[in-house]
Structure 1
Amino acid sequence: MKFSLFSLGLSGLFSLGASLTISEINGPAHRSPCEDKDVTDVTGLVTAIGPSGFFLRDTAPDSLIQTSSSVYVFTSSSTTIRGNIAVGDIITIDGRIIEYRSNRAYLFLTEISVPKNLRKVSSGNKVEPVVLGKERSPLVYRYSGIDEKAGGVFAVPNNQSLYSVVNATVEEEKYGLDFWESLSGELVRVPGPIALSKPSNFGDVWVHGEWRVTGKNSRGGLTIVPGMGSSGADANPEAIRIGSPLDGTKNEATRLGDKLEEITGVVTYAFGFYTVLPLTAVRVRSNAEPSLPPPTSLKSSSTCSGLTFGCYNVENLALNSAHLPKVADHIVTYMGTPDFVFLQEVQDDDGPNNSGNVSSNQTLAALSAAVRERSGVSYMFAVIDPVDGRDGGQPGGNIRVAYLYNPDFFTPRNPNLGSSIDATEVLPGPELKFNPGRIDPANVAWTDSRKPLAAVFDIKDGDKVFVINVHFTSKGGSSSIQGDARPPVNGGVADRQAQAETVASFVSKILAEDRAAKIIIAGDFNEFTYVSPMRAFDGIAYDLDIVTSIPVEERYTYLFDMNSQQLDHMLVSYEITQRDPEYEHVHVNTWNSLEGEVSDHDPSVAKLNVCK
């Protein structure tokens, strides 16, 4: 994160006259009761200095911990105040109280803007940080009271209210956002930090320290898990982002689970999140081990009683992609060359070159050849190319879903390839009108989104199996989980709801023909298990994470902000659940460094009995 806290100086409306403490300036709510007013004789201890201002702590704080005793003081580049103070000084200043945000989707930060009339009271005073986890402990489970009333941070409908409008009184002992607000501007220490993410483009990293956390996975990250009470899902408000160091140094790169040196810095709100700006660069104390996970333990038995099925979002894979050989390595080495693979984000052969080409045959043939070189397995592939520019993703890339399958075990049943606009249907038997074929591609739910690909295969010495490959609408347009909209905007959720209902209806039609049908629905659903779209499959198809009792903390395939989270799922029909299925997520990308990851998703592998 580039450190750029700044404010607009406003002409004075009126002065409060009598001096106020910093605690009184902050007040008990998220926005200051002194907003847009001038204040005089504000006295405080300088705790930290940054490139655009400094942080001031009350020398006479009140006893209410809901009101922060510290505040950020913005000074323009032309001011001389910053050069005349040092950490440990007690000073008195005049200024204007403003609530600043760089984007209307964010929360406000209370600031003293354009200070003047600096008077130094004393120097060399001791500055002690608040030790998090000891003196004050972050909150788990809930972000805000507004979210809780709505049914949780992922409740639907979302964006029902704005924090900036409600200006709720801080309840720092109940809600995560209120806890961090009660420390806004404060110098804090984070003991024993653990990295929860890789660095952002600006070097930011999410951490937790030595305090209570929930959803802790075996790697050290925090996974989104079922919520408590009315909180829906627990998305870990106890985590904190570490931003750009105040001294201009750069944070060391991190990986999930790395142990870091103790961090001291100031709490602020910037670019949509509560953030600790460290006094100096974050340093890695020890790397998480092992550096990469072991390969899947699931091996094909090469019979219908134990065939393996993989699922992998290969992130904009094209013929000229530098990571195509690495994807092949992952399929062979980490996924064990599954007998059948669900792929998402396969681009056309010339990738993001917007040429009008939509064929992916060369891309899939090159991937199949790379797998064959490494394993001896000769995959066939099945795909339906999209209409140019109609399926979203990287412009020109025309991403789509596709299948790789080992012809030693799988044979397309009565193959009848549909076109990009043909809708396959469930026929008596059950059979498919087009095999493979797209599910309801004209439905507005799929506008600028990948259409699901349905197919049915005969299994050697086994039954026929129906497969449905999905890549639902992305979460683009979402708001920050710590932003103004409450509950936060879950971008595309209405489309994903309609998409899930469409696929669930299609599955129901197969089951109406044959309750014992063997069906696998897999892919990038772009949604969490605990959110409404995934509930469309309740009673129709069953999540293998639940069926195989994978611990909730280990259910993740993706890292985003503070959370290890699961966007990729494999659902199966009831008949398959009764045959001792096995399932694993292979964290070859989430555990990797930013430079070493091949995709932003982890692959998953299942071992299933698809005999008659």
Structure 2
Amino acid sequence: MAVRSCVALAAILGSAAASSIAGINGDRYLSPFKDKTVTDIKGLVTATNSNGIFLRSTEPDENAATSEGLYVFNSAAAKTVKVGDIITLDGVVTEYRSNANYIYLTELNKPTNIKVVSSGNEVKPLVIGVDTSFPPTEEFSSLDKGGIFGVPNAVANISSTNPKLQPDLYGLDFWQSLLGEYVTIKDAYQISRPNNYGDVYIRGNWPVTGLNAHGGLTMLEGDANPEVITIGTPLDGSKNPLDTRMGDYLGDITGVVYNDFGSYRLLPLTHLSPLKNATTDFPAVSFNSTGDCLGITVGDYNTENLMPDSPHLPLVVDHIVNKLRTPDLIFLQEVQDNSGNKNDGIVDANVTLSTLASKIEAASGIVYDFAEISPINNKDGGEPGGNIRQAYFYRSDVLQLYKPNLGGSLDVNEVLDGPELKYNPGRIDPLNTAWDSSRKPLAAMWKTVKGTKKIFFTINVHLVSKGGSTSLSGDVRPPINQGVEKRTLQTNIVAEFVAEILSQDPTANILVAGDFNEYSQVAPLTTFSSISGLTDLDEVVGIDPVERYTYLFDMNTEELDHMYVSKGLHRDALYEHLHLNTWQNNDGQVSDHDPSVARLNLCGCSPKKTKKSI
């Protein structure tokens, strides 16, 4: 809950006769009494905190769109009344928000003439889904033209449009219609990890969409789970724990509905205390490499600013060895240079990569070679001085670069007759402005040591970040998906490069993988798939949509990391996402991304079913 000093208000624009709490709230986001003085407001004190009190109307109306709760912002009032008091008071109706991208909070300010009518009255919370309807599960707002992921973004604002509330249809309208109310959420489960203040997203015992096996909610096509709510700062001044995780069972939670920091939230009476902790263990990938073209294994892992002395480097090693089972080829992202986060002009990453390789060898006996291209200093985004880049780790006993010819940071890779690559590995169109302050895709071609002589093409991507996006529950509609235009340009460049290979050889084996920083159901990636002719490997192997996730952000498990394959790689393909990090609390995370592993048949024929191949 934001802490504000009680400063002098702007000149009052007018005054109004006595109104009910429902009348003050109205059936829209902004009060019809905004900036007006209202008198003789009557309500039951349901809760207090250090900054004010929460009231419930003693004369509720029959309109589900008008909240019967109201926050009175005044620290003195919190000391003069107590829970169970019925009071009357005068005050100024104001709309408050701490950021222009947030939805306004309607509150009563500068209260005067506070009178206690009676004390000791029963204070009974409304039970969500019993005394109210269930929250809608798919749509956030009527203003989201084209849906929550609609493009263009930011075509409307709740604060300027002030739409009429339809709580039975839209998630934001539902929680707005309960703003200031005292409620209970039954059988709550945590669906996020806590932020630095202990705030977490939860789901109650109402219908939800996207429920995955671990108890979180996965973002689905056109559905980013508006039925959830944040648990915020406890009313009694205690603090929520910082070591909880997705899937923890929290039981019943009682508090008041509030809006702050870009989301609707329940301010609980006291701090959260999980009744049952979720598991944090996830099994290793269920398949092994065959060691030849019949079944090479490919891993993908964003290792989050990996550098030679990273505290989490040994844990990355443990994941690669014991969970990914030392894949034949690994697409790595966020590999930093040899000096890590020091902004000292160093760009080489040979020490970072050789340190990782040596520790893997010590733990498993498996030897990895690596291939990468150093960027121009501070030109690829990420942490200043870190010079993050994509790299390939490969087992040379299984795979080798075909006609290796390392390109430079500014060398433009081309598809030559064959098809073959001009540079192997080489960067795709690195001079294009679409890649300004962003990682350039790294293309390579390979041959297996055993089996087919057919070339295998790969492209390792790490597209521009979503940093700067607005809250899904914020004022801007549809929410700003920061970088979507640039990611569209980037995916088009990569898709056209792939299409050029396939124009020469429609049967070419091509794998594009990495951190796309985007969802498969959103325009940059749907366009990428249509132009390139590649298919999302999730679709090829039929992974349940609710288990397609590699990242946890706010209320959603979501998939930012993908593998796309050409038709020749559909046969016998296997693919698994290893949820090693999304299930962890903050201390347990190795990376902010989950790794994935695939097994691909490069031979073009089915393997014999032996113990070695399963």
Say whether residues 1:130 and 2:126 are aligned partners: yes
Write the letter of the residue equivalent to 2:592: D
What's the offset of the Cα at 1:99?
0.6
Query: Aligned to 2:504, which of 508, 513, 527?
Result: 513
In the alignment, what sits opposite 2:203?
A: 208
SS of structure 2 residue aligned to 1:538:
helix
Say whether residues 1:585 and 2:577 are aligned partners: yes
What's the offset of the Cα at 1:574?
1.1
> Once structures 1 and 2 are overlaid, which stretch shifts more, 427-436 or 10-19?
10-19
CA distance in 1, matches of 2:400, 2:529: 30
Write the letter of the residue equivalent to 1:589: N
In the alignment, what sits opposite 2:49?
A: 50
Write the letter of the residue equivalent to 1:367: L
SS of structure 2 residue aligned to 1:591:
coil
CA distance in 2, matches of 1:302, 1:120: 80
Say whether residues 1:468 and 2:459 are aligned partners: yes
Instruction: Give the TM-score of the pair, scaled to structure 2.
Output: 0.96
CA distance in 2, matches of 1:582, 1:82: 60
Query: Aligned to 1:86, which of 82, 95, 98?
Result: 82
In the alignment, what sits opposite 1:597?
A: 589
CA distance in 1, matches of 2:74, 2:383: 41
What's the offset of the Cα at 1:314?
0.3
What's the offset of the Cα at 1:5?
5.8
Say whether residues 1:412 and 2:404 are aligned partners: no
- Kept in 2, the 8 Å contact 1:12–1:37? The answer is no
Say whether residues 1:524 and 2:515 are aligned partners: yes
CA distance in 2, matches of 1:557, 1:372: 26
In the alignment, what sits opposite 2:139?
A: 142
Deviations 1:23-81 (A, max 9, x none): 000011100000011111111011110111111111111110101011111015xxx32
CA distance in 1, matches of 2:517, 2:14: 51
Deviations 1:448-493 (A, max 9, x none): 0000000001112222110100000000110010111100000000
In the alignment, what sits opposite 1:230?
A: none
Query: Aligned to 1:610, which of 596, 602, 614?
Result: 602
Query: Aligned to 1:154, which of 145, 149, 158?
Result: 149
Change in 2 beyond 3 A, CA 1:285/1:519: same
SS of structure 1 residue aligned to 2:487:
helix
CA distance in 2, matches of 1:358, 1:379: 21
- Kept in 1, the 8 Å contact 2:197–2:240? The answer is no
Deviations 1:392-419 (A, max 9, x none): 0111101100000000011111111110
- Kept in 1, the 8 Å contact 2:53–2:77? The answer is no
What's the offset of the Cα at 1:157?
0.9
> Once structures 1 and 2 are overlaid, which stretch shifts more, 247-256 or 18-27?
247-256
- Kept in 1, the 8 Å contact 2:14–2:35? The answer is no
CA distance in 2, matches of 1:57, 1:174: 24
Q: What 5-or-longer segments of structure 2 have no aligned partner?
A: 605-614
Structure 1 runs of 4+ aligned residues shifted over 4 Å read 5-9
Change in 2 beyond 3 A, CA 1:601/1:17: closer
Change in 2 beyond 3 A, CA 1:185/1:487: same
In the alignment, what sits opposite 2:610?
A: none
Instruction: Give the TM-score of the pair, scaled to structure 1.
Output: 0.96
Query: Aligned to 2:337, which of 348, 354, 358?
Result: 348
Change in 2 beyond 3 A, CA 1:514/1:88: same
Where do residues 162-561 of structure 1 align in structure 2 (5 Å cutoff)?
A: 162-226=157-221, 233-252=222-241, 253-289=243-279, 291-460=280-449, 461-462=451-452, 463-539=454-530, 540-561=533-554
- Kept in 2, the 8 Å contact 1:21–1:58? The answer is yes
- Kept in 2, the 8 Å contact 1:5–1:74? The answer is no
Write the letter of the residue equivalent to 2:135: P
- Kept in 2, the 8 Å contact 1:133–1:209? The answer is no
CA distance in 2, matches of 1:348, 1:536: 33
SS of structure 1 residue aligned to 2:107:
strand
In the alignment, what sits opposite 2:609?
A: none
How many equivalent pairs are there? 598
CA distance in 2, matches of 1:152, 1:8: 39
Where do residues 35-46 of structure 1 align in structure 2 (5 Å cutoff)?
A: 35-46=34-45
- Kept in 2, the 8 Å contact 1:185–1:267? The answer is yes
In the alignment, what sits opposite 1:229?
A: none
CA distance in 2, matches of 1:453, 1:18: 68
What's the offset of the Cα at 1:580?
1.6
In the alignment, what sits opposite 2:94?
A: 98
- Kept in 2, the 8 Å contact 1:542–1:573? The answer is yes
SS of structure 1 residue aligned to 2:275:
strand
Change in 2 beyond 3 A, CA 1:215/1:171: same
Q: What 5-or-longer segments of structure 1 have no aligned partner?
A: 227-232
- Kept in 2, the 8 Å contact 1:298–1:605? The answer is no
